[in-house]
Every structure is written in structure tokens, then in C-alpha cells.
Amino acid sequence: MTAELIHRLHFAFTVTFHYLFPQLTMGLALLIVVLKTVALRTGSEEWNQAARFWAKIFGINFVFGVVTGIPLEFEFGTNWSRFSQVSGGVIGQPLAMEGVFSFFLESAFLGLFLYGEKRISKRMHWFSAVMIWLGSWISGFFIIVTDAWMQHPVAYSQMPNGQFEVLSFWQLLLNPWGLLQYLHNMTGALITGSFVMAAVGAFYLLDGKHAAYGRIFTRVGVITGCISTILIIFPTGDLHGKYVARHQPAAIAAMEGLFHSEAGAGIVLIGQPNEETGQIDNPLVVNNVLSFLIYGTTKAEVTGLDRFPRDQWPTALPLLYYAYHIMAGLGTYFVALMIVAAFLLWRGRLYSSRWMLWLLLISFPLPYIANTAGWMTAELGRQPWLIYGLMRTTEGYSHTVSAGNGLFTLIGFMGLYTLLGLLFTVLVYREISHGPQPKAHGVETAIAG
């Protein structure tokens, strides 16, 4: 195993595990605002209690997000030192901004929201929820800005010593790639939040416990789920895909498994890319659709991988292809599921349609898979570049950190994160099985004594 591979795996593993948490944080933050808003406007204690229940799960999830997030900022330096030296002047900025503009805000209001309900007014408590939502979405924005610069560098110049520096604050922040990716990504986070909330609601309805809360959760989850699953495809996914096709044509060709340039290119639904023969094995293709999706006409020519020298092909081509297909396939399923669920809700039959409740329940892991696959598509599509067109991945890792030292800490993270995953599951399972009912006071005094 080469040092380069170890450092790539190191970042990939820790960032993939990390992002399981923030996607729920960001989605749930908005949904908690919805619950708190209804509670504030109607004065309903039930909706308030529903918000408190999700705040507990949010709190657990948030902490796991924080502790798995800290290593990432360090890993730029520890595992990718040459990249950091060259690009720090640019991407160090949004990373620092995340801390300064988002984390301070989030941590301040989270403390208030979770610990301070008795100390502040109802309106102030609602306001804290809004600020947490804002903080978490600002945080996502700065991370996307960072990634967008690596995908599509803007507003930079290179100094004689090889380092990049940023020329314009606003151009860096308003990188078109970043804006499209942000909309797509945040919609993805909202899908995770919606599916999780709907699944917990479906669980309570199927189980016959906490049915009143079950109805609130499925209702909110299905409505936001329906909106977000449509938005993820159109317009956000559509626009983002077209932008990738224009600026990273080799990436889109690899994602679609298009080895040869073609007018009226078809879309591959299923099939295995074969890099040796340069074709898709066992393909299931719908003619002309790819040309239409990218250019809006069925006749347009789509550039295939044959137009690019081999050393510019994404390095993990089959993985990229599968990641993209898993994301797109799941996205299609999400829309179908949520539209049917929303229809049942509208007709007043959702709470009694056990088959649909079952589908909602068992579907909750899928948005996690889709979000992960989406990020793999973005990052594998960028290869072989670390900064697209400017720096190759093989030039960026820490040359002073040997493969052995890198593997040592990678294994350490794997062990630690396995433990974290187990703990998280147990904790959330406990909260869900306890349910949203307020805690009985007898238990607590028994412990305190």
C-alpha cells in the first residue's frame, strides 16, 4: 500500500463517517424549527414536546458530528501537508470562517436551546432553534465553498513560491459551482432529516405507542420529504449535473460510463463498466436520454472518455460510476415513495396504510447511502486532480508521514469510530424506545440519591 493511498483512505474514511452526522443535523435543525414554529403559533404543548424529543436526538447527533469533525480540519495539515502549504491561503479562509461565523453561533445557541429552556422565554427558545438552524446551514456553506474551490478554482493567483492566494472574498464565496452544489447538498440533508422523522413516526404508528406523536412525525416528515425529494432532482440535481458536464467533462463521461463520444447518447441504467475493453458489460440503456439531460436535445453529441488522455481519466472509474448510479437510482425511488406517501396523507389514509408505514420505516438508511454516494461522485469525479486542473492528488499528501504511520492512525480511527457508531446506535435507540413522553420524575431522584 502506498503512502498516497493510505492518506486518501484516511481522509475518505474519516470524512465519510463524519458526514453521517451533519446531514441529519442540518436536516433536523430545519424540521425542529418547523415543530417549534407550529408550537409557538398554536400554543400546542404536544408540538413543543415533539420538538423537545427531537432536540434530544439532535443533541446526541450534534456531538458526534462535532467530535468527528474536529479531526478533519487537522487532517488537511497532518495528511495533506503539501496541499495545505500551496492552497492554505485560499481554502484556509472558508475553513476558518466556518469556525468564526458558524460554530460560535451554533454552540452558543445550542447550549441555550438544550440547557436553558427554563431560563428563557418561549419566543427566545424558538429563536435559539432558528439560530441553530442558521448556524448549521452556514457551516455547510463554508465547507461547500472549500470543496467548490478544489472542484472549480476561482478568484486566485499563484505566487512565485507556488502558493495560491485569494483575490476576491465575494468571488470565492459566490463560486457558481459552490452555489449549485450547496443547494443540491442541503436538499440532500433535508431528505435525510425528513426520512428519519417519518421513519420514527411510522415506527410509533406501527407499534401502536405514542400514536399522537407518530402522526405529527410522519406528517412533517412526508411533507418536507416530498418537497425535498422533488427539489433534489429538479432543479438542483439537474443544474449541478449540467455544470459538471460543462466544466468536468471527463468526470461526467465516467459517471455515466460513456467510453465513446456519441451524438444522441443513451443513458445507462444498469451495467458494469469495463475499463479494459472500454465498454459497459450487460448494459440496460435508454437511447438519447443522456444527450437530452445534458443539452436539452436528443441529438447533441456528448463527449466520451475516448477524447481524454488516459492520465486524465478519474482514477477510480468503476467506483465513481457505481456511486453516481446508486445516488441517482435512490433519488428516483425517493421521489416515487414520497409522492405516494404525500398522496395518502392528503387523502387521509396514510396513518392506516401499514404497507406505506413499513416502507417509510425501512427506507430511513437509504438517504444516508445516497448522500454518501453523492459525495463520492463529487470527489472521485475530481480525480486525478486534487485542485482541478492545478494540482494532482499524488502531489498533495504529506511526504514526511510514512505509509506505516498513516496506517497506524487509520486503523486507530477505524476502531474508535466503530465504537462511536455502536454508542450512537444504542443512544438513539434508547431515546426512540423511550418515546417523546416527558420523563417521570421519580426515576431521576432515585439516581440522584
Partner 1 sequence: MGFIWFWLVAVMIVAYVVLDGFDLGVGILHLFLPRTEAERRASLHSIGPVWDGNEVWLLAGGGTLYFAFPLLYASAFSGFYLPLMIVLWLLVLRGVTLELRNHIDVGVWLSLLDGVFGLASAFLAIFYGAALGNVLRGVPLQPDGYFFLPLWTNWRPGAHPGILDWYTVIGGLVALVALTLHGALWLTIKVSGDLEKRASRLINPLLLLVILLTIVSLIATIAVRPASLNNFYAYPITFIVPIGVLASLTGIWLFNRSGQPMKAFLCSSLYLFFMLAGACWGVYPTLLPATTGAERDITLSRALSGPHTLAVGLAWWLFGMTLAVCYVVFVYSRFKGKVDVDAVH
One residue of 49, 116, 207, 275 binding partner 1 per CB under 8 A: 116
CA distances from 173 to 147, 156, 195, 206, 425 (A): 11, 12, 30, 46, 36
Q: Assess 437 for contact with partner 1 (CB under 8 A).
A: no
Residues 255-284 that bind partner 1 (CB under 8 A): none
Residues 158-217 that bind partner 1 (CB under 8 A): 159, 163, 165-169, 172
Taking the complex as a whole, the smallest distance from the CB of residue 212 to partner 1 amounts, in Å, to 24
Q: Which residue, among 164, 161, 166, 156, has the nearest Cα to 87 in the 3D structure?
A: 164
Q: How would you label 133-169 residue by residue, b for 16+ Cβ within 10 Å and e otherwise?
A: bbbbbbbbbbbbbbbbbbbbbbbbeeeeeeebebeee
Q: Assess 405 for contact with partner 1 (CB under 8 A).
A: yes
Residues 84-103 that bind partner 1 (CB under 8 A): 84-93, 95-101, 103
With beta carbons less than 8 A apart as the criterion, state whether 27 and 199 touch.
no
Tell me which residue has cell 452555489.
179
Taking the complex as a whole, the smallest distance from the CB of residue 71 to partner 1 amounts, in Å, to 4
What type of residue sits at position 83? F
Taking the complex as a whole, the smallest distance from the CB of residue 262 to partner 1 amounts, in Å, to 44
Q: Assess 329 for contact with partner 1 (CB under 8 A).
A: no
Q: Assess 443 for contact with partner 1 (CB under 8 A).
A: yes
Residues 6-65 that bind partner 1 (CB under 8 A): 56, 59-60, 63-64
Q: Assess 400 for contact with partner 1 (CB under 8 A).
A: yes
Q: Nearer to partner 1 by C-beta: 275 or 431?
A: 431
Q: Assess 300 for contact with partner 1 (CB under 8 A).
A: no
Q: Note every long-range contact of 141-144, with CB atoms under 8 Å and residues 24 or more positions apart, other chains counting.
A: 141/182, 142/94, 142/95, 142/97, 142/98, 142/101, 142/102, 143/94, 143/98, 144/178, 144/181, 144/182, 144/185
Taking the complex as a whole, the smallest distance from the CB of residue 167 to partner 1 amounts, in Å, to 5
Taking the complex as a whole, the smallest distance from the CB of residue 87 to partner 1 amounts, in Å, to 8
Q: Nearer to partner 1 by C-beta: 66 or 340?
A: 66
Return the range that interacts with partner 1 (CB under 8 A); candidates 66-74, 208-216, 229-237, 349-357: 66-74
Q: Using CA atoms of 139, 141, 142, 147 in order, give the dihedral in degrees to the nearest 10.
A: 130
Q: Assess 440 for contact with partner 1 (CB under 8 A).
A: no
What type of residue sits at position 270? I
